[in-house]
Structure 1
């Protein structure tokens, strides 16, 4: 049985990149679901935590895949590889964390 995979990418952009380049990279990430059918959902945002534990990471990107195989196909897709080269050149640090969500019912 296939299990859902969440692919979380946390980045801290280089301080010296322009706002225009940062926005272009965000839009490039946003375009990937239209280029790679294995991406079932995409969302992103900037840090809004009040706990000050972001360790310098400023942006989060979350992609959802129906299965590990879908995630694996995304990783080697030419559109992802081309985009990854661009964004990695513009970030000071990046963390990638994949997980299988376990729904918990809240009461």
Structure 2
């Protein structure tokens, strides 16, 4: 009888661990933050063009959320307000983010909008734990 119970207990423990890992993964997301410094710093038309182009990223499969906006000027020493536009995208995982990076709509926006208008781009990717 004990020989039968041990495999059953091990299987149940394994299922519990997989279930817990899945629940933990459901509580995380991947954030992709892009900071842009314009060639013509402060140009409102160029800022607007980048923000409007970012809206189209919502059409790319596996993109959960897109937001973009202009820098908030700050006198606080800890705040870097030297950039012009920030874009933030949310994905379920890094595979989804990588698919977005290879999507033709993203590549087209980079070539036709970002590269002509932007002198510097800095990207921050991180795994967000959602509470």
> Do they superpose with TM above 0.5?
yes
**1:51-103 Cα shifts (integer Å, max 9, x gaps):** 25426212111000011110010010011001011212211111011000134
Counterparts of 2:126 and 2:70 in 1: how far apart (Å)? Answer: 20
**Which structure has more RCO (C-alpha within 8 Å, separation ≥ 6)?**
1
Q: When the two structures are superposed, what TM-score results if normalisation uses the length of structure 2?
A: 0.68
- C-alpha root-mean-square deviation of aligned residues, in Å? 2.2
Match of 1:5 among 19, 30, 33: 30
Match of 1:83 among 85, 109, 112: 109
Query: Do residues 64 (structure 1) and 90 (structure 2) align?
Result: yes
Residue of structure 2 in register with 1:74 after alignment: 100
Name the SS of the counterpart of 2:69 in structure 1. Answer: strand
CA shift, 1:33, in A, is 0.7
Q: Which has the larger radius of gyration?
A: 2
Residue of structure 1 in register with 2:80 after alignment: 54
Name the SS of the counterpart of 2:105 in structure 1. Answer: helix
CA shift, 1:15, in A, is 1.0
Residue of structure 1 in register with 2:65 after alignment: 41
Name the SS of the counterpart of 2:129 in structure 1. Answer: coil
Name the SS of the counterpart of 1:100 in structure 2. Answer: strand
**1:33-53 Cα shifts (integer Å, max 9, x gaps):** 12x021100112222233254
Normalized per residue, the structure richer in helix is 2
Q: When the two structures are superposed, what TM-score results if normalisation uses the length of structure 1?
A: 0.81
Counterparts of 1:59 and 1:51 in 2: how far apart (Å)? Answer: 19
